[in-house]
Structure 1
Amino acid sequence: MAITKEKKLVHRRFPLIVRILLYIYVAIILFFLGLMIGFGILENPLEVFRLETWEHIINLTRE
């Protein structure tokens, strides 16, 4: 009188790797939007993508 449980296969709409890549993609987009919003309070939001801006920030933190 052994009771066996059958495992049901779960059919997902999106595979696990697709969901993980989608979350990473959304996180990157939100990261850059956050940079633009945070820097946009002080300066032009698009200047956050300039190399000179990051060099200036690094120089400020090293002093």
Structure 2
Amino acid sequence: MAEESRKLVHRRFPLIVRILLYVYVAIIVFFVGLMIGYGILNNPMEVFRLETWEHIINMTKE
């Protein structure tokens, strides 16, 4: 029985590939969420402009 538990599990995708894939998908979902959330009020592509973020930061400081 001890020999059976020591068998290596061969996976299709290594652990690092799966972790990187999850991080990549999370980043994409984050930016899509920003575009949808900001797009309700304005043009969705404006979320990527630096002036938009400066305006948001200035509004939250006051």
Q: Which TM-score bucket, shorter chain as reference?
A: over 0.9
Q: How many residues align?
A: 60
CA offset digits 1:1-60 (Å, max 9, x no partner):
xxx511111000000000000000000000000000000000000000000000000000
- Cα root mean square deviation, aligned: 0.7
Tell me, in whole angstroms, the C-alpha distance in 2 between the residues paired with 1:9 and 1:49.
46
The one-letter amino acid paired with 1:42 is: L
Question: Taking structure 1 as the reference length, what is the TM-score of the superposition?
Answer: 0.92
After TM superposition, the runs of 4+ consecutive aligned structure 1 residues lying more than 4 A away are none
Aligned to 1:29: 28
Q: Tell me which structure has the larger Cα radius of gyration.
A: 1
Aligned to 1:5: 2
In the alignment, structure 2 segments of 5+ residues that lack a partner are none
Which one has a larger percent helix, Structure 1 or Structure 2?
A: 2
Aligned to 2:15: 16
Identity %: 82
Tell me, in whole angstroms, the C-alpha distance in 2 between the residues paired with 1:45 and 1:8.
51
In the alignment, structure 1 segments of 5+ residues that lack a partner are none
Aligned to 2:38: 39
